[in-house]
A and B are shown apart, each in its own frame.
Chain A
Amino acid sequence: MELLGRIFVDPFADMVGAPDFLLQVIWEGLVSGILYALIALGFVLIFRSSRIFNFAQGIMVVFAALTLVGLHAAGLPAWVAFGGTLVVMFGLAVTIERVVLRPLIGQPDIILFMATIGITLVLVGTGEIIFGGENKVMIARELGIPSGSVELNPWGGFMLMEARDITVVIGAVAMVGALLAFLNYSRMGRAIRALGDDHQAAVSVGISLTTIWVLVWFVAGIIALMTGIAWGSRAGVSFALEIIALKALPVLMLGGLESITGAIVGGLMIGVLEKLFEIYWGQPLLGGSTEAWFAYVLALVVLLFRPQGLFGEKIIERV
């Protein structure tokens, strides 16, 4: 009985008792949720256009961030380094398409998925050799990301918002808007969506599969760079990001593999819920660090009820 009270009553009493702290927790959750959503967005883009489950998206984030910091450390001004990183990501997209994807056209999904694991390993090794494994500081100030913080006093309480987190949120919203506009209104964007709907039909009306694949991987690379900057400015750039990037998988599953809305809603949901669970249930009852698995278990539970995720297309199977 006492245990039930601690599970079902006390956490909510704590939330109501200190609403300013609750807001703070939700804000923190939202910020990390946006970052999960950004990584998931890269996944969705590639999955929609090529049915490739791109495991390498996480390491692309690390790689882009490392390249940016590395180029700046080599003496380039921040914005030139930014441009240089875009060029590197474009080169990466072309290389991946030529060397890995083109020979594998038409193979089963699982083969392509494993190929992206191979890409991940190559990028990890290359990144470690070129840039070294130690933690690096993101060049946030040079790129014009403000530091400092904003204090709010909701209900007479106290709440702190870092200025860079606010910048990240605004930047992410702007980028998602731009991406949606690109996909919905530009010629190239519509070609990407056509490929996602039906490969054969898209190819037969003259859409070039290989060009679109390069484009999609490049856009995923840009998203990776943005994510890298955002995440790096909070926690530094290191290969530890790769493990956090694995969290994009439950985000995707929760939202549904095909849906951009799903990736965003899933990311925010997981970001907020895992923080709330950790603070109000994990630490007092389970000994903490529940963030390691909460997202996966949540996604699993949701999938048991909706096997295609919250926003995914209904899976219709034919024999």
Chain B
Amino acid sequence: MLYRTAGQFKTSYRADQALFPVRQDAFLLGIILIFAWAVLPLTASEFAYQTLLIPVLIYALAALGLNILTGYAGQLSLGTGAFMGVGAYACYKLITIFPEINMAVAVLLSGLFSAAVGVLFGLPSLRIKGFYLAIATLAAQFFLVWLFEKWGWLYNYNASGAIQVPNVEMFGIWVAGPLATSTAQYYFVLGIVTLLTLVAINLTRGSAGRTWKAVRDMDIAAELIGINLMKAKLYAFAISSYIVGVAGALFVFMWRGAAEPNLFDIDLSFRVLFIAIIGGLGSILGNYLGAILIVALPVLLNTVPDALGLTIKSATVEHVNVIIVGCLIIFFLIVEPHGLARLWQLIREKLMLWPFPH
């Protein structure tokens, strides 16, 4: 009843292809946006910002970038962590070389560097396919992390070998560094994530997205109908690495506050990959659902036993968490290979017919 689409007539192709052909979708998204922009910041505690809200947004953005490459264009990538690192180090260098630069500009620019590196490591995808391609992204993963450690210029030759986020001001408000408040950082991240999500939605439903899907489903067939494979694949690598790079810059500047090279190791790549899989490959919404699940799960596991009066060692909690994530991955692959996003699709279809299904 609430989701009834009867009576919403389309009289032109333009209306049929609009961003929200169903009115309720727009309404629902509006509520979520109001919630994210106004309600949550009013009610969230410092703990909620740091352990839930900010990491969910950042991980979702990284998964969105990976999803464009793996879910839409069908090129498996195991190097997401390293590309996030490129974004983070690029942002650090930009901030230290041009201290006057606007933070938002610096973050958005740093994505360009990881896009360039992504295209470089994407070049083999023209010749190497499927699992063999995973090796190209693994090479990127291990080589780049090694480079972060050995190339002193990247971290300004400081003795610890780690990068420390300085205090950065934007329009008179501290947005990064020890002086920044969580609320300011949350709004900064939310702004960038909203912007890039909008871009990604429009890219994936436009001609670029259709090209990527054709390449994913069968690249030879795509080539035969006139798609330039080189352009399509490299474009996917560029866009994907750009978004991942921006997520990496946010990861360090808006959340962690400092970074060592091994923060970007293969575990990070896998965590982002899991978010994309559990959320749903080839969907935008799924990244958010997956990120919420993966970020909230350890927090839940840490707080629920406490609330019940049980004491479990934190190491055990961590291991149980790993097991649960593993089981969830297997469970979702068996029950619903298209992830959480597909579940929402099913619910939505049911709601449209409710209360009178066929």
Chain B residue at minimum C-beta to C-beta distance from A256: B132
Query: B97 interface residue, CB < 8 Å from A?
Result: no
Query: B266 interface residue, CB < 8 Å from A?
Result: yes
Query: B3 interface residue, CB < 8 Å from A?
Result: no
Query: A10 interface residue, CB < 8 Å from B?
Result: no
A252 to chain B, nearest CB (A): 9
Query: B139 interface residue, CB < 8 Å from A?
Result: yes
Query: B316 interface residue, CB < 8 Å from A?
Result: yes
Query: A160 interface residue, CB < 8 Å from B?
Result: no
Contact between A249 and B135, CB atoms less than 8 A apart:
yes
Chain A residue at minimum C-beta to C-beta distance from B267: A243
Bound CA span A286–B147, Å: 10
Contact between A287 and B150, CB atoms less than 8 A apart:
yes
> Which residues of chain A are near B277, meaning CB under 8 Å?
114
> Which residues of chain B are near A118, meaning CB under 8 Å?
326-330, 333
Q: Which of A111, A118, A120, A133 has the most CB of B within 10 A?
A: A118
Contact between A113 and B131, CB atoms less than 8 A apart:
yes
> Which residues of chain B are near A115, meaning CB under 8 Å?
329-330, 333-334
Query: A3 interface residue, CB < 8 Å from B?
Result: no
Contact between A120 and B124, CB atoms less than 8 A apart:
no
Bound CA span A1–B319, Å: 54
- Given A114-B329, A115-B330, A121-B326, A257:B131 Cβ within 8 A: yes
- Given A118-B327, A119-B326, A307-B127, A129:B316 Cβ within 8 A: yes
Query: A180 interface residue, CB < 8 Å from B?
Result: no
Would you list which residues of chain A between 111 and 150 have a CB under 8 Å from chain B? 111, 113-115, 117-126, 128-129, 133
Contact between A319 and B221, CB atoms less than 8 A apart:
yes
Contact between A250 and B266, CB atoms less than 8 A apart:
no
> Which residues of chain A are near B145, meaning CB under 8 Å?
292
Query: A110 interface residue, CB < 8 Å from B?
Result: yes
Number of interface residues, chain A, beta carbon within 8 A: 49
> Which residues of chain B are near A122, meaning CB under 8 Å?
322-323, 326-327, 330
Q: Which of A61-69, A217-225, A293-301 contacts B (4 or more CB under 8 A)?
A: A293-301
Chain B residue at minimum C-beta to C-beta distance from A315: B129
Q: Which of A20-28, A84-92, A100-108 contacts B (4 or more CB under 8 A)?
A: A100-108
Contact between A125 and B139, CB atoms less than 8 A apart:
no
Chain A residue at minimum C-beta to C-beta distance from B332: A118
A214-233 Cβ-contact flags toward B at 8 Å (1 or 0): 00000000000000000000
Would you list which residues of chain B between 60 and 92 have a CB under 8 Å from chain A? 76
Contact between B320 and A129, CB atoms less than 8 A apart:
yes
Query: B258 interface residue, CB < 8 Å from A?
Result: no
Contact between B128 and A304, CB atoms less than 8 A apart:
yes
Contact between B139 and A292, CB atoms less than 8 A apart:
no
B21 to chain A, nearest CB (A): 29
Query: A197 interface residue, CB < 8 Å from B?
Result: no
Query: A246 interface residue, CB < 8 Å from B?
Result: yes
Query: A213 interface residue, CB < 8 Å from B?
Result: no
Chain B residue at minimum C-beta to C-beta distance from A303: B128
Contact between B143 and A296, CB atoms less than 8 A apart:
yes
Contact between B323 and A292, CB atoms less than 8 A apart:
no
Bound CA span A299–B124, Å: 12
Bound CA span A246–B269, Å: 14
> Which residues of chain B are near A198, meaning CB under 8 Å?
none
> Which residues of chain A are near B337, meaning CB under 8 Å?
107, 111
A269-310 Cβ-contact flags toward B at 8 Å (1 or 0): 000000000000000001101101100110110011001110
Contact between B224 and A319, CB atoms less than 8 A apart:
yes
> Which residues of chain A are near B221, meaning CB under 8 Å?
319
From B128, B273, B319, B326, contact of A307 by CB (8 A): B128
Query: B188 interface residue, CB < 8 Å from A?
Result: no
Chain A residue at minimum C-beta to C-beta distance from B325: A121
- Given A122-B327, A257-B131, A292-B145, A103:B320 Cβ within 8 A: no
Contact between B146 and A289, CB atoms less than 8 A apart:
yes
Bound CA span A5–B172, Å: 54
From A119, A125, A289, contact of B330 by CB (8 A): A119
From B127, B146, B320, B330, contact of A304 by CB (8 A): B127
Bound CA span A148–B120, Å: 48
Query: B134 interface residue, CB < 8 Å from A?
Result: yes
Query: A253 interface residue, CB < 8 Å from B?
Result: yes
B261 to chain A, nearest CB (A): 11
> Which residues of chain B are near A297, meaning CB under 8 Å?
139, 143
B283 to chain A, nearest CB (A): 15
> Which residues of chain A are near B138, meaning CB under 8 Å?
246, 249-250, 296
> Which residues of chain B are near A308, meaning CB under 8 Å?
132
Bound CA span A82–B149, Å: 41
From A107, A124, A287, contact of B322 by CB (8 A): A124
Contact between B76 and A110, CB atoms less than 8 A apart:
yes
Contact between B150 and A286, CB atoms less than 8 A apart:
yes
Please provide the 4 A-B residue pairs with the shortest distance between their CB atoms, ordered closest to farther: A121-B326, A125-B323, A118-B329, A125-B322
Chain A contact residues, CB within 8 Å of chain B: 53, 99-100, 103-104, 107, 109-111, 113-115, 117-126, 128-129, 133, 243, 246, 249-250, 253, 257, 286-287, 289-290, 292-293, 296-297, 299-300, 303-304, 307-309, 315, 317, 319
Beyond A119-B326, A257-B131, A293-B142, 9 additional pairs, beta carbon < 8 A: A100-B334, A114-B329, A114-B333, A118-B330, A124-B322, A128-B315, A243-B266, A250-B135, A286-B150
Sample 12 A-B pairs with CB under 8 A, ordered by A number. Answer: A53-B131, A103-B334, A110-B76, A115-B329, A115-B334, A122-B322, A125-B322, A126-B319, A129-B319, A133-B315, A290-B146, A307-B129
